[in-house]
Amino acid sequence: MTTNPTMIVDTLIPLLRRFLRGEYGIALGGAHAKGVDDAESDIDLYVFAHDILPADERRRLCVDFGVDGASITSWGNDAEFVQAGTDFYFQGQKIEVWFRNVDYVAAIIAECQAGIVKHSLLTWTVMGFYNHCTLSDLHNMRPIDDPFGLLARWQSTVAVYPPPLQTAIIAQHLRTAQFWPDNFHYKSAVERGDAIYTAGIVQQVIHNLIQVIFALNQTYFPGDKKLAGALDHLAVKPERFTARIHALLFPGSEPDPAKLNEQRQTLRALVQEVTTLTVGIE
């Protein structure tokens, strides 16, 4: 697979333009835009528009362009356009095209600036999708076709992390993380050796602590993948934060009450440390 998507993207731009109606912007997103791509990375293309062609018409245009029809998955915009996608293989590379409505994105920016955090449970993202992940996408994307200056305006707007968003994320996620370490049901599950139940608790608490750490660093949460590397670049966090998360997730032995209680106490200590870091944040 190629690690430099520039030539492929340039080739695909004329095809993407044919999908769109009205003002639009096209950007490179995902791992390639963030500079963390590897041999397994696909090419993520973010396409923002007021309206797009229906899924079947996008599929037909892809086939006419020379894309293998068997590799195409096209969905969305069979009703009112909010989000949609057209994914396929081109020149041996996996391409994922994610379409988003311009007004929908503008509304998300406004609500995040106002400190409104929304969370949707979606199959394709392990911990669900947060509205502020859209701001992360905008902040990290690399505009490649922006004739109306739409993407430039958005990137200027999200360049400064909104203080109300920081306050809201810390309040919401710290409260959730603090709920579990001394909870009766967690402690009783530990005594039973119920590793299936306790594993879900540990994963949930860790995720909420990670959300708090990103907010403390005024850095947009980038999504579930490749978090270890992203966390290592953050200045404000507990000592050996990533290593301690790994140890919590993979305790390395058969589950028994003693081991699960040790895990719970370690998790409890980490929650307390992150809580301490939030003192003074309004």
Give this prediction's pTM. Answer: 0.90
Residues 82 and 195 grouped into a single domain: no
Is 1 inside a domain boundary? no
Confidence tier at 36 by pLDDT (50, 70, 90): confident
Residue 220 or 128, more confident: 220
What confidence score (pLDDT) does residue 182 get? Answer: 96
Q: Which residues contact 102 (CB under 8 A, 6 or more apart)?
A: 23, 24, 48, 49, 50, 150
Residue that finishes a domain, picked among 158, 193, 226: 158
Is the same domain home to 119 and 17? yes
Count structural domains, the chain: 2
Domain residue limits at 126: 6-158
Displacement of CA 228 from its chain's centroid (Å): 14
Sign of the C-alpha dihedral computed for residues 206, 175, 259 and 203 taken in this order: negative
Q: Taking 60 as the threshold, does the pLDDT of residue 2 lie above it?
A: no
Q: Regarding beta strands 83-90 and 73-75, do their DSSP bridges make them parallel or antiparallel, or are they unpaired?
A: antiparallel
Contacts of residue 181, Cβ cutoff 8 Å, sequence gap at least 6: 205, 264, 267, 268, 271
**Measured between alpha carbons, how far is 141 from 153 in angstroms, rounded to an integer?**
13
Q: Are residues 24 and 142 in the same domain?
A: yes
Q: Taking 50 as the threshold, does the pLDDT of residue 50 lie above it?
A: yes
pLDDT beyond 80 at 142: yes
Tokens of 273: 């440390």
* 130/168 same-domain check: no
pLDDT digits (tens, 9 = 90+) for 62-113: 999 999 999 999 998 767 899 999 999 999 899 999 999 999 999 999 999 9
Average pLDDT, the chain: 93
Indicate whether 282 belongs to any domain.
no
Q: How far apart, in whole angstroms, are the C-alpha atoms of residue 144 and residue 150?
A: 12
**Which three-class secondary structure string do you get for the chain?**
CCCCCHHHHHHHHHHHHHCEEEEEEEEEEHHHHHCCCCCCCCEEEEEEEEEECCHHHHHHHHHHHCCCHHHCEEECCCCCCCEEEEEEEECCEEEEEEEEEHHHHHHHHHHHHCCCCCEECCCCCCCCEECHHHHHHHHHCEEEECCCCHHHHHHHHHCCCCHHHHHHHHHHHHHHHHHCCCCHHHHHHHHHCCHHHHHHHHHHHHHHHHHHHHHHCCCCCCCCCCHHHHHHCCCCCCCCHHHHHHHHHCCCCCCCHHHHHHHHHHHHHHHHHHHHHCCCCC
Do 31 and 136 share a domain, yes or no? yes
> Are 25 and 149 found together in one domain?
yes
Query: Is residue 193 one of the residues assigned to a domain?
Result: yes
